[in-house]
Amino acid sequence: MNTTSTSAVHAEAWLPDTWFGRFLGLGNGGLGGCVDYVNLDYGTSLHFAAVGSDNGHDGDSGSVFLNHPEVLNDFAFRAIHVEVVIGKQIVEAYYGRPHHKSYYLGCSTGGRQGTQEALKLPEDFDGIVAGSPATNFNNLLGWGAILGRFVGAPDPTGNPHFIPADLWDTVASEVLKQCDGLDGVEDGIITEPDDCQFRPEAIVCTAGQTTGCLTSAQIDALHEIYQPLFGTNGELLFSRYDPGTEADGNAQAYFSGSIFSIPDDWFRFTVLNDSSFDFENFDLDTIELGDRVDPGGIQTFNGDLSTFEARGGKFLTYHGRRDQVYRFSILSKNVTYEKFQANVQLNIQTLSMPSLDSFYRLLLIPGMDHCSGGPGAAAFGQGGIASNVVNASSNNVLLAIVDWVEGGVAPDVIIGTSTDGQTRTHCRYPQRSVFHGSTFTCET
């Protein structure tokens, strides 16, 4: 489908023989331009007519955006709407009747796309599941690049702040030693990372010690990493890297000594339009430039969901508390719930707390990595990757949003399942998951 004379979106529709009258649009991940076949299969297994697109380009490189502003616009905001408009036409032509409700499922970039839809195109979907949404996109990717710079990227050779992979295991062990028990049980999961005030100096090398410890320069790097990132004028650009997310090799996304590929491509090919940019020159000014340029209007940070709310739309967000790619950036002890609402674009000028509850839920998932995986009970119907998904609305966010839209039953909790079959109840924000002897319960 041509979107302009220089851009096009390719989409694919999977149409089940047994259709329950529901349409499902799918998002993408990273800078990716790949049809989400896993979730096309997942959606049709639940009797949705499912449609996914390539987001306006092939592959997962950002090089396609260089000097191609319309391709960038497809990625930033247009592709999902195109897949919805054309997809609904295909569905009606195939079944001989229109859909009766329309849903969306996506995580990371897909979560940002779902948020953008609710803000700018509120007629497209009745229910949206937007996981780990990459809103505040430019600052998020700038923060990702700065994290690498803290340890010497793009060339850490001889840099005293660089932390090799084996020492990240030492860091991860110390984080758990200090913070795993804060929730009342030592299970390898930090339920509330906001409560963890990690003290890296506990593992500084002492006289004569050369293994299992860090130098003072490496400790300085950790202090930079585990605190919020502020701009040149003292404004908050992005929140800290959460203690606990560095476990199981996850730290290598940002701290391998190279700039993480997604921020590298984004700043190189869209913000700066300079394929030869040297990331030795990347700094706070570069991040602030990205925020000003806002390529394709991708920031997905300012807006108003009142139109989506007024037409009866329901919006559900989830985020892993061990997300190694980015944290839910506004959750900290010094941020009010009103500020939280503002940062997820919820028009606090007109929406009271009861109004917010009438159409929005945030579920925080202890022990879950980026979108899925990790030691926690991280399978709850958010996608087709996990083989242990339970297809009941109490255990499945996609079916839960259906119950909310069509039956008026809002999800207060969701039950997740871990890889070993254990279950755990996940709470909606601002409730907290509190351990009582043998189980976790949700408390305000």
CA-to-CA separations, 269 to 28, 113, 277, 334, in angstroms, rounded: 19, 20, 9, 35
Share of residues in the chain with pLDDT > 70 (%): 93
Strand intervals (E) in 215-350: 229-230, 236-238, 314-320
Q: How many CB atoms are located within 10 Å of the residue 409 CB?
A: 12
35: tokens are: 């049809």
CB 199 within 8 A of CB 178: yes
Q: Where are any strands of DSSP class E within 337-418?
A: 360-365, 413-417
341 pLDDT more than 80? no
- The runs of H, that is alpha helices, within 159-299 are 165-179, 216-225, 252-255, 261-266, 284-293
Give domain limits for the chain: 2-137+297-443, 139-296
What would you report as the CA-atom Rg of the chain, rounded to the nearest whole angstrom? Answer: 22
Q: Compute the average pLDDT of residues 103-127.
A: 96
**What is the tens place of the pLDDT at every residue in 54-86?**
999 999 999 999 999 999 999 999 999 999 999
This model's pTM is above 0.75: yes
- What is the pLDDT confidence band of residue 432, given thresholds at 50, 70 and 90? confident
pLDDT of residue 343: 46
Which tens digit of pLDDT belongs to each residue from 186-207?
999 999 999 999 999 999 999 9
Q: Which of 366, 383, 419 is nearest to 245 (CA)?
A: 366
Give yes or no for residue 389 having a pLDDT over 80.
no
Distance set, CA 214 to CA 68, 158, 218, 228, 275 (Å): 45, 15, 6, 22, 35
Query: What's the pLDDT score for residue 353?
Result: 55
Catalytic (active-site) positions: 108, 323, 370
Statement: residue 340 has pLDDT above 70 = no
C-alpha dist (Å) from residue 57 to 10, 36, 265 = 8, 13, 14
Can you say whether residue 296 is alpha, beta or left, with left for phi > 0 and alpha for psi between -120 and 50 degrees?
A: left
The confidence score (pLDDT) of residue 342 equals 44
Q: What is the pLDDT of residue 387?
A: 61
Cβ neighbours of residue 100 under 8 Å, at least 6 residues apart? 21, 22
Chain segment 118-139, per-residue pLDDT in tens = 999 999 999 999 999 998 999 9
**Nearest-CA neighbor of 191 among 371, 433, 16?**
433
**What is the fold, at CATH topology level, of the domain defined by 2-137+297-443?**
Rossmann fold (3.40.50)
User: Hey, what are 386's tokens?
Assistant: 């996990």
State the average pLDDT over residues 13-29. Answer: 98
Distance (Å, whole) CA 150 – CA 254: 10
Per-residue pLDDT at 426 exceeds 70: yes
pLDDT tens digits along 282-328: 999 999 999 999 999 999 877 788 899 999 999 999 999 999 998 76
**What does DSSP assign to residue 153?**
T
What are the tens digits of pLDDT across the range 223-236?
999 999 999 999 99
Q: Tokens standing for 333?
A: 């002890």
**pLDDT, position 6:** 96
In the structure, what pLDDT confidence band is assigned to residue 330 with cuts at 50, 70 and 90? very low
